[in-house]
Amino acid sequence: MSKKNKVQNCNFIVVHGWMITELNLKGNALLIYAIIYGFSQTEGQSYNAGLQYLADWTNSTKQGVLNALKKLEEQSYIDRFEQMYNGVKFVQYSAKDINTVKESLTVLSGKESLMGIKESLTEPLNKVERGIKQSLPNNIYNNISNNIEDNINNNIYTAPSEQVALEPPVIEFVLNDKSLYPITNKQLNEWQGLYPNVDVMQCLRNMKGWLDANPTKRKTKRGILKFVNGWLAREQDKPRKTQTTKDIAPVMDFSEFY
């Protein structure tokens, strides 16, 4: 059975002209940089959807994606961050825009322009480029961490929503494979906005209790969010009883009015 492609018909990539003319990117490197750049445009956000999504976009392999990511990082076009949570490595990437890239390369080379430092991902370095690379202060290329290969064995947790949670979860659900699915405060706030008539946090506690009590009905990683949204939607649609004077009277002390 073929693996489902993570790229959907409604997905798209925006490639800016400067990515080609200024950064000299092409092929898989161009597509991967454009995807990461798109995820990085909202302040505080970054790309954390895992390697398979990039591999599907480029019709490449995870190893090919890793090679491209490593080269983009060496060129100072992207930043890589990782964090361990419950023994699982969470990895995210953030893309720099052209102005930030130029500033970074100016600091590294002591020059006012890129000056040939840009390298092709598909071609070997020529003698001039090797000379520039070796002359950079502190030889940054030798200081780049090679830990990116550690992710080859699928050591990246990717949530079904294609978002990896880097913050501590507000609650965790037990899935059908007995793994834990984390729910973040960001998701909690989004659901509270979508379902204003619902106490979302209490509903999440109810869901956790239901899943704990019904092990045969626990959900998959792909189906857990559908389960959550369905539960919240039903709560949102429940009719709300309008209080009347008759409802309120038994709990009121009418002596306070006299």
- Checking if the pLDDT of 174 tops 70, the result is yes
- Mean pLDDT to the nearest integer, 35-55: 82
CA 204 to CA 184: how far, in whole Å?
A: 11
- Mean pLDDT to the nearest integer, 40-56: 80
Does 145 share its domain with 176?
Answer: no
Does 114 share its domain with 65?
Answer: yes
**Domain for residue 250, yes or no?**
no
Does 61 share its domain with 144?
Answer: yes
Does 140 share its domain with 177?
Answer: no
136 contacts 60 by C-beta, under 8 angstroms? no
Report the pLDDT value the prediction gives residue 205, as an integer from 0 to 100.
95
For residue 43, report the phi and psi dihedrals to the nearest 5 degrees.
Answer: -55, 130
Does 67 share its domain with 149?
Answer: yes
- Block residue for tokens 């539960």: 231
Domain of 184 in residue numbering reads as 171-237
Does 139 share its domain with 30?
Answer: yes
Does 21 share its domain with 72?
Answer: yes
For residue 240, report the phi and psi dihedrals to the nearest 5 degrees.
Answer: -100, 125
Query: How sure is the predictor about 49, in pLDDT bands with cuts at 50, 70 and 90?
Result: confident
- Checking if the pLDDT of 160 tops 70, the result is no
- Checking if the pLDDT of 165 tops 50, the result is no
Collapsed DSSP state (helix, strand, coil) of residue 234 = helix
Q: What's the pTM?
A: 0.41
Does 142 share its domain with 184?
Answer: no
Query: How sure is the predictor about 242, in pLDDT bands with cuts at 50, 70 and 90?
Result: low
Q: Which two tokens stand for residue 224?
A: 């857990």
- Mean pLDDT to the nearest integer, 149-164: 42
DSSP label at residue 139: G
Does 92 share its domain with 206?
Answer: no
Write the pLDDT tens digit of every residue in 76-118: 898 888 877 667 777 888 888 788 777 766 665 555 444 455 5
| Secondary structure, 3-state, 204-234 | HHHHHHHHHHCHHHCCCCCCHHHHHHHHHHH
Does 132 share its domain with 25?
Answer: yes
β-pairing verdict for 171-174 and 88-95: unpaired
Does 124 share its domain with 55?
Answer: yes
Q: Which residue has the higher pLDDT, 107 or 219?
A: 219
Report the pLDDT value the prediction gives residue 83, as an integer from 0 to 100.
74
**Domain for residue 108, yes or no?**
yes
**Domain for residue 246, yes or no?**
no
**Domain for residue 253, yes or no?**
no
The chain-wide mean pLDDT, for the chain, equals 75
- Mean pLDDT to the nearest integer, 22-32: 91
Domain boundary among 84, 118, 153: 153
DSSP label at residue 170: S
Domain count, the chain: 2
